[in-house]
Amino acid sequence: MVFVGVHGEWGRIDVTQADLGCGQDRESIYKTKRPAPLTCYECDWRLHLVHKTHSAYDLWFLRHANQAPHCEARAAGEGMAHHLLKLDLAHHARAAGWSAEYEVAAPDGSWRADVMATSADGSRRVALEAQMASISIADIEARTDRYGEAGVEVCWFTDRKTAPWLDNVPSVQIARPDDGDPVQVTAGAARFEPAWCDDRTVCDWCDCEDCGAGVDGPLPCEGHGKWEPAALFPLERFVAAICQNATRPHRLRVGWDTKGKWRWITRRYFDMEEEQLQAHIRKYQIVERLQTVQQRQQKARQAAEQEHLAAIEALLQRQRALIKPVVEFIYHEAGAFPSVARDGSPEFAMGVPVHVRGKPYAVICPVASRISALRRRLAPLVLFAASERERSRILAQAAPGQRIEVLTAELTPTSAPAVPRRPDQGDLTVRQAMNRMLGLDRM
C-alpha cells in the first residue's frame, strides 16, 4: 500500500487528494477500461488505484500489480496503523495551511520522510515521521541528525507503549481511541509549573544545607519549578501548533529527573524555565562570591591562629630556656633553692611562677597583655624576661617601679604546629590545643 505514484502523463500523483495533487480527477484513473499508466516511483512496477473504507476513513491507495519485485516504497508501509497515521499527519498539516507530500526523499537518498510538510512561503520544512516499528536510540538519533544537516525539522510519532528514544529526539507518543474519537497526543509534550519562595531574596524551601555549597548566610530563591507532562490533547491541534510555530522541540534544562530530555513546549513555558535558570545562575554567582570572601576570612583566621600558636610556642621555649638561669639567679639572691612550677598559670599572666620557701617570689616570662589585669598581684614579684624587647612590653603593662630582670639563654628553634582546617568530631579544637599547651586543661 502506497499513496503516491507516477502517472505517465501527469507525473507524480497523490491519491489521497481528490485532485491527485496535480489538478486531475481521481475518478479518471479508477476502474477504467484501459489500465491507467501508473507506476511506482521506486521500482517502476505497475500500480492499481484501490478504494476501501476503514472505520471512519475513506481510503484511497495504490497497490503493486502481481509479481512485483522487492520495493522499498512498498516495504515502507508497515500496517494499517502506519498508513492511517500518515494520512492523519498529512491531513492536519494541510488543514493548517501547509502543503504535505508522502515519501519525500533527499536528493542523495540519505533520508526519506513519511510526510514532508512545507510552509506556504517555503521557509520551513518539517518531516513528520510515523515510527511504529522498533528502532534503536542510535539509529533514530542518526536519522534526526541527517534531517538537521539538510535544514529539515523533524518530529517522530509513535503509538508504541514503550519507546526508549522518546526522550532522545523531538517526538511524541500518540493513541488512537477505540471509539473512533480523534487521535490523542499522550506523551512528549510538557508544561512548566513555576514555584518560588514568597520572599525571593531568602530561600526557605531547602533544609539540606548543601544548596549553598557550604557558604554561610541566607541565599536568594533559585526557583523550585518543574516540568510536568502535558495533559492529553488532539493530534490535530499538535500538528497545527508545529505549523504555526507555536510549539518547538526543546531539550529541558531544569529538573534532576527531566534535565536533558527532549520535549515539545510553548514559548510561555520556555520563558518560565529561563527565568528559573537565570535565578539559579545568579544564586551561584552569589555563592561563588561568598565562597571567595569566606575562604579569604578562613585563611585570615588560620593565619592568625598559626601566628598565635607560634607565639605560644615561642613563649614556652623562652620559659623553658630561662628556668636554669632564673633558679641560679634567685638562689644567689635569696640564698635558697626556688621551686619552679611545671607550667604557666593564668593567675600569673600565663608566666611560670617561682616560689621561695612556699611564697611567690618571681614569674618567668609573663604575657604582657595579661599583666594589667593582675598588676597589683604581680607588683611585689620579680618578673623575668628573655630579651630587652620583651622587657619593654612587660614594662608598659606593669605597675610603676615593677622589678623586671632580663636573663639571656640559648633558645632551641622549633616549628609551630600546623593549624587544622576543620577538626573532625572528637579531635582537639584550636582552643583545646592551646589550653593543653598552657596546662589549662589540668586546672
Domain boundaries, the chain: 1-76, 305-442
**Amino acid 40: pLDDT:** 85
Which pLDDT does position 348 carry in this prediction? 97
- Residue 358 C-alpha cell reads as 612556699
pLDDT at 424: 45
Q: Where are any strands of DSSP class E within 135-261?
A: 153-158, 171-175, 184-187, 190-193, 226-229, 233-234, 248-251
C-beta of residue 205 within 8 angstroms of C-beta of residue 221: yes
Environment class of 276 (CB within 10 Å of its CB; exposed 0-12, middle 13-18, buried 19+) = buried
Q: Helix, strand or coil for residue 259?
A: coil
Residue with cell 498508513: 83
- Residues of the chain with pLDDT below 50 are 416, 419, 421-431, 433-434, 437-440, 442-443
Which cell numbers hold the place of 376? 597589683
Give dist(CA 7, CA 9) in Å, integer. Answer: 5
- Taking the C-alpha atoms of residue 194 and residue 273, their distance in angstroms, rounded to an integer, is 8
pLDDT at 379: 96
User: Is the pTM above the cut of 0.85?
Assistant: no
Looking only at the bridges linking them, the beta strands covering 153-158 and 171-175 are parallel
Residue with cell 508497515: 78
For CA atoms 140, 84, 159, 119, give the dihedral sign: positive
Q: Report pLDDT for 32.
A: 76
CA atoms within 13 A on the CB side of 366: 34
Question: Which value, to the nearest 10 degrees, does the dihedral of the CA atoms of residues 430, 431, 435, 441 take?
Answer: -110
- pLDDT of res. 73: 66
State the number of CA atoms in the 13 A half-sphere of 127 facing the CB. 26
pLDDT of residue 123: 97
* Helix and strand element counts for the chain (H, E): 9, 21
CB half-sphere exposure, 363, CA atoms < 13 A: 29
